[in-house]
Amino acid sequence: MSAETSEIQELGRSARQAIAAAQSPQALTEARARYLGRKGSVSALLRTLGELDPAERAARGQAVNQLKQSIEAQVSERRAELEGRAQDRSLAETRLDISLPGTVAPAGHLHPITQVTRDMVAFFTSMGFAVEEGPEVETDWNNFEALNMPPEHPARDEQDTFYVEGGHVLRTHTSNVQIRVMTGRKPPFRFIAPGRVYRHDLSPKHSPMFHQIEGFMVDDRVTFGDLKGVLYAFARHLMGSETELRFRANHFPFTEPSAEMDIRWGDEWLEWGGCGMIHPHVLERCEIDPEVWQGFAFGMGIDRTALHRYGLPALRVLFDGDVRVLEQV
């Protein structure tokens, strides 16, 4: 074996070792440069070919070229191996177990008052009642006077009123909607009006803002019996088919006769709202002839209904906005 041949074999061996020893793509690039780079040992060998005589040059040139190709092949094989290993490592490090349960985004739900209100509205619309709202800042006429409560009427004191600049009031009940809706409308009709009302009364059982639902129906043969029938169906829809109501004679300026109604809750009777036959004066103020038309009306607290339906301890929890409480209903 000539000295030249063994030199080539030696280079081949050392290149193989260097390639195998490279532990990163960067180290491999450096190793390759040591042999095949411009200043590499194989390149240096190629440059010496010119000094040889033609016969020798051909044989040696072939041998060096083979060495060069073999190094290139080893480098690319090793590179594939190193890259594969790097990928395995990064997969292992950022392991994603797609069978793990995901993080559930917290979902909100409707406030209990909204839930009850929607349920009430659904019941009455199924009975053919239309829905009206009316404003929360109201004229004295719509909130009091047209409902048979002139300025000196004692019932005004009972409804601790918030007064607004310009002689308006924050409506103390949803009965204002009766006047708004009946004025300029021709019977027969039936409406409900859920919404916020305001009274200057702050105690554990009261809030200065609360919710009522008003209902009224005017036709040419409406009786107190119709009123009771509607209220019974309503109470049983909300609270269960065995629910009982109790009607107690009472006085409201805008109904005659009037009754207060209680709803049975276990062994207790809870005050639920007021009702009666719409007073003829109220109809007249709305330009409806009381000789031809009669109507019933009722109004009850939505918040109180929600309290009992969800078994909440106090009105306050409905308005505190404590999510821990609201999440339970």
Among 139, 175, 294, 305, binds ligand DAH (CB under 6 A): 175
Tally the residues of the chain.
Answer: 329
For β-strands 294-301 and 268-278, DSSP reports them as: antiparallel
Q: Which is nearer to ligand DAH, 138 or 214 (CB)?
A: 214
Q: Which residue is nearest to ligand DAH (CB)?
A: 274
Site string for ligand DAH, 124-163 (x = CB under 6 A): ----------------------------------------
Least distance from ligand DAH to the Cβ atom of residue 199, Å: 9
Tell me how far apart the alpha carbons of residues 78 and 260 are, in angstroms, rounded to a whole number.
93
Tell me how far apart the alpha carbons of residues 171 and 198 are, in angstroms, rounded to a whole number.
6
Under the binding rule (CB under 6 A), the answer on residue 169 touching ligand DAH is: no
Tell me how far apart the alpha carbons of residues 106 and 53 are, in angstroms, rounded to a whole number.
85
From the list 94-102, 179-187, 231-239, 274-282, the region that binds ligand DAH by CB under 6 A is 274-282
CA angle at 263 for the pair 179 and 191, rounded to the nearest 5°? 25
Q: Which is nearer to ligand DAH, 78 or 171 (CB)?
A: 171
From the list 60-68, 110-118, 235-243, 273-281, the region that binds ligand DAH by CB under 6 A is 273-281
Least distance from ligand DAH to the Cβ atom of residue 175, Å: 4
Give the binding-site size for ligand DAH (rule: CB under 6 A): 12
CA angle at 299 for the pair 295 and 303, rounded to the nearest 5°? 160
Under the binding rule (CB under 6 A), the answer on residue 276 touching ligand DAH is: yes
Assess contact for 176 and 149: CB atoms under 8 A.
no
Q: Which is nearer to ligand DAH, 12 or 187 (CB)?
A: 187
Among 68, 274, 285, 288, binds ligand DAH (CB under 6 A): 274
**Closest by Cα among 147, 141, 197, 138 to 172:** 197
Q: Which is nearer to ligand DAH, 19 or 297 (CB)?
A: 297
From the list 15-23, 230-238, 267-275, 279-287, the region that binds ligand DAH by CB under 6 A is 267-275
Tell me how far apart the alpha carbons of residues 302 and 203 are, in angstroms, rounded to a whole number.
18
Site string for ligand DAH, 214-233 (x = CB under 6 A): x-------------------
Under the binding rule (CB under 6 A), the answer on residue 255 touching ligand DAH is: yes
From the list 131-139, 238-246, 269-277, 283-291, the region that binds ligand DAH by CB under 6 A is 269-277
**Closest by Cα among 179, 174, 172 to 153:** 172
Q: Which is nearer to ligand DAH, 134 or 299 (CB)?
A: 299
Site string for ligand DAH, 290-309 (x = CB under 6 A): -------xxx----------
Least distance from ligand DAH to the Cβ atom of residue 174, Å: 7
- Token pair for residue 190? 């039936």
The site for ligand DAH (CB under 6 A) is made up of 173, 175, 214, 252, 255, 273-276, 297-299
